[in-house]
Amino acid sequence: MDYPKLIEEALKAREFAYAPYSRFLVGAALLGKSGTIYRGCNVESCSYGPTNCAERTAVFKAISEGEREFAAIAIAGGPEGEQSPLAHTAFPCGVCRQVLAEFCPMDFPVIVARSPEDYEVYTLGDLLPQAFTPLSL
């Protein structure tokens, strides 16, 4: 799997983030098993509750286009104005981890990146141990 290419797509997605309140821009690139890459960015709302994370944006975009199986996700984020390499890694929030668990197995790769050369790979199971999944029902 070409993690650097997926990270580059996440960095491109980050450019479209709408984060006027937190100024923390996040991009995600979700690789479908079909080979299609679905980009997502965070979209904030002044009332915070309707805010949507980059990871969920990518997942919902993929699902709405008929993709149901995924190979990996790359996430790149950090404060507005920073140039690559990013100073931080942006891990998925709890809600995004739960949404990923709806569609992905626990060995699903989650790549958190500062740049295409500087990244870490975790499994969804690492990030969401004892997950509540459709198999829990």
Three-state DSSP state, 75:
strand
15 burial type by CB count under 10 A (0-12 exposed, 13-18 middle, 19+ buried): exposed
The CA radius of gyration of the chain, in Å to the nearest whole number, is 14
Catalytic residue of the set 8, 9, 44, 55: 55
Three-state DSSP state, 13:
helix
CA distances from 21 to 13, 32, 37, 48, 57 (A): 18, 31, 28, 9, 18
- Write out the two tokens for 102: 């709806």
Backbone torsions φ then ψ of 114, nearest 5 degrees: -100, -30
Active site residue 9: no
Active site residues: 55
